[in-house]
Amino acid sequence: MKPPPEPSYEVLDPNLVLGAYAVGVFPMADSRDAAGVYWVEPRKRAILPLDGFHLSKSLRKVIASDRFRVTADAAFEDMIALCAESAADRPETWINTTIESAFTTLHYQGRAHSIECWDGDELVGGLYGLALGKAFFGESMVSRATDASKVALAWLVARLRAGGFTLLDCQFMTPHLASLGAIEISRSDYVALLGAAIDGSLGAAVSGSAAGDFGALDRLPDLGDAAGAVTVSAPPLGKDIVQLLTQTS
């Protein structure tokens, strides 16, 4: 019997990926078809302060109306594949098979997560990223319907706030992210925030100590109950997300 063929792409050890993110470095590829990756550490880093998400009146209405059905970790592989697809406004992407494979493995380990926006049964937008300690590293977001990526990011911010996260890393600044509240900080300031978010230790983050809880939103008391005695028995609604985003710390 012949041995299975070797992969035609570079294989990334998930532990190597986790270690890189813990020190502020992340992988990218030159193109979708690139065989390998390179490692990036930007001089300026985009982050989105979790208490600084810009919820415009129009976006508030879209979220509260539940225009999209929003899920978490319901279709991670489909989500990363959609982010990797070329589109008219983005003919080439940096997500190659190496990155896709590594993050899929990390997802099954409970470390990589996705937010999906659906129109009926059609996946029309969302995002994916990596959770490490109390930091979440947003990798890519995509929209195949108006406002889908904005809604996904709003749900992510609400989920991170509910789960005790302290850092949302957006990597590179874009006008789209800036319009939603992202800011750009120096590498040294970012490293300080990152160290605090993962408790200064990759081992602590990987073991789960002092980690954020990505699933906490699904277990919150009913946000409409002042006594907080009723447990949510169904997925959160858009009105719950709006309320979480408008609550002050």
CA angle (71 as vertex; 164, 124 as ends), nearest 5: 125
pLDDT of residue 228: 46
Q: What is the rounded CA–CA span in Å between residue 134 and residue 130? A: 11
Beta carbons of 183 and 167 less than 8 angstroms apart? no
Domain ranges within the chain, ordered by starting residue: 14-246
Q: Closest Cα to residue 140, out of 29, 24, 10, 245?
A: 29
pTM tops 0.85: yes
Alpha helices in the chain (DSSP H): 14-22, 57-64, 76-84, 97-108, 148-162, 175-179, 187-197, 202-207, 238-246
CATH architecture observed for domain 14-246: 3-Layer(aba) Sandwich (3.40)
CA atoms within 13 A on the CB side of 88: 2
pLDDT of residue 7: 55
Q: What is the rounded CA–CA span in Å between residue 153 and residue 70? A: 11
Give Cβ neighbours of residue 108 (< 8 Å, ≥ 6 apart): none
pLDDT of residue 232: 44
pLDDT of residue 235: 76
Beta carbons of 210 and 88 less than 8 angstroms apart? no
Q: What is the rounded CA–CA span in Å between residue 238 and residue 219? A: 15
Q: What is the rounded CA–CA span in Å between residue 206 and residue 133? A: 7
Q: What is the pLDDT along the chain (249 residues), one digit of tens a residue?
A: 555 555 556 789 999 999 999 999 999 999 998 989 999 999 999 999 999 999 999 999 999 999 999 999 999 999 999 999 987 666 678 999 999 999 999 999 999 999 999 999 999 999 999 999 999 999 999 999 999 999 999 999 999 999 999 999 999 999 999 999 999 999 999 999 999 999 844 554 444 447 999 999 998 876 555 444 434 446 789 999 999 999 865
pLDDT of residue 247: 82
For 232, the token pair is 């949510």
pLDDT of residue 233: 46
Eight-state DSSP code of residue 199: T
CA atoms within 13 A on the CB side of 228: 2
